[in-house]
Amino acid sequence: MADDDTGSPSPWADLQLELLAIVLRRLPSLADRVRLRAVCRAWRRELLPVPFPWLALPDGTSFLSVPDGAVHRLPFPALLPDGGGGDGGLTTCHGSVGSWLFLGVGRSMSLANPFTGDVVPLPDVATICRYEGKARDDYLHPPSAFKLVQLAPPSPLGAAPPADSLFAVLMPAPSRRSSMICICRPPAAATAFVIPGGERAYDAAFYDGKLYAIAYRQLYMFDVDTACKGKPAVPPMRCIANFVNTRWGPFHTTVGDQRYSCRYCGYLVESGGRLLQVRRLIGHLCSAPRGHGVTRARTLSFEVFEADLRARFCFPWRRVAALGGGQALFVGKHSKSVTASECGAREDCIYFLREYCGEEEDSDPLGDSGVFDMRNGRITPLLPEAVAAPPLGGNLGRGRPAWFFQMELIM
């Protein structure tokens, strides 16, 4: 800093906010912002751009900073008892909501803030099943696939969910052949119902005051009464759209000189006031020997469709070639659209992680992760070329990696 007339250095607190904003936008990593804060507390007066999201590893306590490849470990107090399930209390990360991780220990579920150590219990699997009229033992093992959506009210960034918060949990039904949705209010009030017709939903999103769930063939809308108190009611539901097409897989296609057995998976995400369906094409190399599912499976491409919810016919999906508005998508257990320039991401790109099951699933949580450029259709590695993949090691848990949109630490 420049000296003033007395020869004393000017304090960092006097740094002009215009210059501070420029500095912050060149620091997408949260760790770098913490270092800046150590010498300049004036950053708290500036409206901070969203930092590049961390990658929450399956154990729920390890986080990877993508811009610099650094691994941060933030242990927090023990979670709820596992409630049975025979997993020895192993923590599984099922995703995140805002600045909170969605964690499971056996049949117990909770939200945990890795920065403050705060834990908010959610209804456990046994409670959900009782509301569904199923016996506790229908789940011999805890489900491995969950999606949590906060319905109301929205929490201030990083703050604990309000006492009247309402959440939706998308999870497999006890039969495993269909899906059910639990509308819950922490810590124990819950109402669960199975999606009709035996449909298996694979993602859900809260958009324009409604809960949406997408299955292999249809898009469902649930009109949840977010103002009700006490035990949530089963919401009115209707199918509002058929799927883009019925070709989910498996089917075969050729890329280069390689033959793949393919299937689609997908995501729902709100972006710029639109509800988007993101379809991901995953191919398994046909020539691969048995027992090499993970090492020979890879993402081949993406497609993005916009829902026209004002259409009167039941096929409202419209394919889009670009996200527009300078947006980038992070898809996974917690999908989010962000302004690319604010967090150091690339415009019209889809950042993705490996979320499907297979052999050696714990050995490389970064396997089949990358960045899909909608402008040229190319896929590049998730980590920058100058950043080597960090040695993770250890038992990373049974979950899948998830994006974690952390807020700035407050000191």
Instruction: Tell me the per-residue pLDDT of 115-135, one tens digit each, with 9 for 90 and over.
Output: 777 888 888 777 776 655 554
Please state, in angstroms and rounded to a whole number, the distance separating the CA atoms of residues 225 and 223: 6
Residue of 362, 349, 355 lying closest to 334 (CA atoms): 355
Name the residue with higher pLDDT: 328 or 96: 328
Sorting pLDDT into bands at 50, 70 and 90, what band is 158?
low
Higher-confidence position of 14 and 284: 284
The predicted model gives 92-101 an average pLDDT of: 81
Phi, psi of 14 (to 5 degrees): -90, 5
- Other C-beta atoms closer than 10 Å to the C-beta of 170 total 21
Residue with more model confidence, 230 or 323: 323
Print the SS3 string covering 227-277. CCCCCCCCCCEEEEEECCCCCCCCEEEEECCEEEEEEEEEEEEEECCEEEE
> Which residue, 149, 212, 218, is CA-closest to 183?
149
CA-based nearest residue to 370, from 283, 320, 299, 304: 299
d(CA 77, CA 38): 26
Query: How confident is the model over 99-108, as a mean pLDDT?
Result: 80
Rounded distance, CA 76 to CA 62, Å? Answer: 11
Give the SS3 label for residue 340. Answer: helix
pLDDT of residue 24: 61
Average pLDDT of every residue of the chain: 76
Per the DSSP assignment, residues forming a β-bridge with 239 are 220
Give ∠ CA 339-342-343 in degrees, rounded to 5.
Answer: 95
User: For residues 89 and 47, what is the distance between their CA atoms, to the nearest angstrom?
Assistant: 40
What confidence score (pLDDT) does residue 42 get? 53
**pLDDT interval class at 27 (50, 70, 90):** low
CA 222 to chain centre: 21
Tell me, what's the pLDDT at 129? Answer: 66
- At 70 the pLDDT is 84
Q: What is the identity of the amino acid at 405?
A: F
**pLDDT for 57-81, tens place per residue?**
877 678 888 888 888 887 665 554 5
**pLDDT reported for residue 187:** 78
What is the predicted pLDDT for the residue at 144? 55
Q: Scan for tokens 């993949």, then name that residue.
A: 389
Confidence of residue 366 (pLDDT cuts 50, 70, 90): confident
Between CA 87 and CA 152 the distance in angstroms is: 32
pLDDT per position as a tens digit, 137-150: 454 445 556 888 98
pLDDT of residue 141: 47
The backbone torsions φ and ψ at residue 37, rounded to the nearest 5 degrees and listed phi first, read -60, -30
Measured from the Cβ of residue 396, the count of other Cβ atoms closer than 10 Å reads 21
CA angle 223, 111, 329 (to 5 degrees): 65
Residue recorded with tokens 């006031």: 273
Which pLDDT does position 353 carry in this prediction? 92
Q: Which residues pair with 277 in a beta bridge?
A: 268, 305
Asked if the model's pLDDT at residue 411 lies above 60, the reply is: no
What are the strands, taking DSSP E only, across 286-316?
297-307
Top pLDDT among 306 and 51 is at: 306
Choice among 48-52, 79-83, 214-218, 224-228 with the minimum mean pLDDT: 79-83
Percent above pLDDT 70 for the chain? 64
Which of 22-26, 198-202, 403-407 is predicted least confidently?
22-26
pLDDT at 351: 97
Nearest to 214 by CA among 276, 272, 152, 159: 276
Answer yes or no: pTM beyond 0.85: no
- Please report the pLDDT score of residue 72 as a whole number: 83
Under DSSP, the state recorded for 78 is -
Would you say 263 and 249 are in contact if contact means Cβ atoms under 8 Å apart?
yes
What's residue 407's pLDDT?
59
DSSP state of 47: -
Predicted confidence at residue 410, as pLDDT, reads: 38
Lowest-pLDDT choice from 151-160, 227-236, 342-351? 151-160
Query: Rounded CA gap, 122 and 101, in Å?
Result: 12
pLDDT tens digits along 240-284? 877 666 566 688 888 888 899 898 888 999 999 999 999 999 998
Structural domains in the chain, sorted by start: 1-49 (no CATH), 50-404 (2.120.10)
Residue-level pLDDT at 83: 46
What's the longest Cα–Cα distance across the chain?
A: 79
Whole-number pLDDT of residue 271: 95
pLDDT at 362 over 60: no
Q: Report the pLDDT averaged over residues 343-360.
A: 82
Q: How confident is the model at residue 56 (pLDDT cuts 50, 70, 90)?
A: confident
